[in-house]
Amino acid sequence: MKQLFVLDPVEQINPAKDSSAALMQAAHRASIEVWACMPSDLQARGDKAWVVASPIIPEPWIKIAPPRSQSLTEFTCIWMRKDPPVDEAFLYATHLLEVAERDGVLVLNKPASLRAWNEKLGALRFSGLMASTLVASRVEELEAFARENGEVVLKPLGGKGGQGVIRIAKDAPGLGALLELITDQERLPVMMQRFLPEVINGDKRILLVNGKPLGAVNRRPKKGDFRSNLALGGQPEATHLTIREQEICEELEPSLRNEGLFFVGIDVIGGMLSEINVTSPTGIREVERLMNIPLGDQVINRLLDELS
């Protein structure tokens, strides 16, 4: 069996922290051939998808053999693990992967769903599980929402890792000017949500495989910040799922399964769904280290069960 990982340059990956490295090493332990490429290595020759990819030995990290050109149909499974932004290059890569999908290759996550499930907007399908939320471009309506909710969080729709997320009070000086800037003079929508003070206790990342939770890690904001993203200094800690969080996972499961979203990371704050991360969810290493759970191996085993 061969699996291909489409991702950022593999040489730049930190295997001690990276979820893609965890998945590649788990695949290697399961006696699966592991190959890697970047989105720019994908091709289409007529109605067939090809790739210039390198075989790798990911454990111990890392040995990379010379690349060679081959049909994507040579792979049993392709992992699309390119980090955001979801830009033109990312979108074109999903279209090329769909060519392989039509030939029977399993692509994770499903290319069409990667395009459809913006990691902020996708959660709106389950707005009843979320804090009060508005997505809009018009400054007047955003200001009114802020006044109604008192304190809000602004999120750019294309952001990642907490970048560009702002906490602001309804009476903050210059709110209108800030909204004009963020919306590019009312051209681009932004997400505004009621601020959840429970974030001081952490933002929980829950990792789901085919809609079922396999592990979770709580992320506490660093001192002086409300953002708990690990990339911004948030501190991971061991945790367990509450009944409310289990209910959230159960409500999401049918949609995630039906949409081909095999490996997903959801963020929950104070029992409220915040985001649904579908592009390249992180957190495997933290769960493995803090919870003593071989999560990477469990994900690959679930995949092998699906393929059998």
Active-site annotation, residues: 120, 155, 205, 219, 227, 267, 275, 277
Copy the structure tokens of residue 108. 């994770």
CA atoms within 13 A on the CB side of 80: 35
CA–CA distance, 122 with 155 (Å, rounded to integer): 14
Distance CA 193, CA 120 (A): 11
Among residues 279, 275, 289, 168, the alpha carbon closest in space to that of 235 is found at 289
Q: What is the dihedral of CA 222, 249, 261, 54, to 10 degrees?
A: 50
**Token match 């970047």: residue?**
38
Is residue 265 within 8 A of residue 216, CB to CB? The reply is: no
What is the token pair recorded at 36?
């890697």
- Give me the residues paired with residue 64 across strands: 56
User: How far apart, in whole angstroms, are the C-alpha atoms of residue 208 and residue 221?
Assistant: 23
Count other C-beta atoms under 10 Å from residue 250's C-beta. Answer: 12
Other CB atoms within a 10 A radius of the CB of residue 228 amount to: 25
